[in-house]
Structure 1
């Protein structure tokens, strides 16, 4: 009888260990193209949940200041996007070369970036969680990305967004900054070309 009990205890231990490993792997799978490690948004944002999953702050007076986003690009050049593109609408796209949804939206982002360049809109990438620039550069080349990306392997730039704002909480995320440097909209999933245009057109039209 004691041998049977011992066998049962061993089986239970193995089952518990397998379950724990499975839970850990599931968590990793969810975070792979998931949380960016930034603080969550809250009631302070006063945003409107868009039908397409794009959160928009329609009242300009309720928008929060975007942080300064600056650093080295994937080409090892200094870029202060906040200063360089001051007075323009800025689209920040958080991505990683390892992220399948990022690959799915890449061509659409590039297409819209080219379309809206002459309308006072600038796109800037925030490359994160790539251990070095090499795979990210290959991504840019493959998808013919027409705009620069800041190299943010550790995700520190994402953490600059204020708590309670429409901050990037997933990879991919796309943040829309109005001409006054305020956070106007956010998507925390892949965006389509139509969603980009529908979000950008009102911002371009703002005076």
Structure 2
């Protein structure tokens, strides 16, 4: 490749990266406690309290196919946990509410493993793996976390659906791979259990 061609491609790649970062910044209210509670008017969503939304089983939509490299260097996907209830948490090491929530996620993920519940994190807007890895170690996070610095995986959740809209956000995926619940706030241990247990109890 000639130097002139390389120089022309470099700006294009840079523009693509910046565009991805801008898109995720618009789709997520960074490190907020969440947006306004979802209204049930004109929808089939059953609102919980605060920033928690539950979706009736008959109205749930499939979660998108997300997969990629993990913070620890492996590979994983949402599809790998088919048949389990999956708790998907979006976080960043730089996000104070995410740090507040992390010990609760670690606790519940360990306690619920015997129930067939799998936790899966999506780390976003950490441009280096080292910060994300340090977060995992600091809070005893042992479940896999997809490394998604520019939010490409998060953007696979369609806008206007029960999609993540803030950091932290947590989604619960039912055994059929459908989005069953969403929380746009940091969750306590009790709130996590209240969100997960009814979905685990479904037959």
TM-score range (shorter-chain normalised) is 0.7 to 0.9
CA displacement 1:47-81 (0-9 Å, x = unmatched): 12211421001x21100110011000012211122
CA displacement 1:143-165 (0-9 Å, x = unmatched): 00020100000011111112322
1:73 equivalent among 58, 70, 74: 70
User: Counterpart in 1 of 2:53?
Assistant: 55
TM-score using structure 1 length: 0.78
**Equivalent pair of 2:90/2:169 in contact (CA under 8 Å):** yes
- More helix per residue: 1 or 2? 1
User: Counterpart in 1 of 2:123?
Assistant: 127
Matches of 2:104 and 2:151, distance apart in 1: 24
Matches of 1:86 and 1:142, distance apart in 2: 29
2:80 equivalent among 79, 84, 100: 84
SS at match of 1:169: coil
1:192 equivalent among 178, 188, 203: 188
Q: Which has the larger radius of gyration?
A: 1
TM-fit CA distance, 1:43: 6.9
User: Counterpart in 2 of 1:139?
Assistant: 135
Q: Which runs of 5+ in 2 are unaligned?
A: 1-24
Q: Which runs of 5+ in 1 are unaligned?
A: 1-26
Q: How many residues matched?
A: 175
**Equivalent pair of 1:45/1:166 in contact (CA under 8 Å):** no
RMSD (Å) for aligned C-alpha atoms: 2.5
User: Counterpart in 2 of 1:116?
Assistant: 112
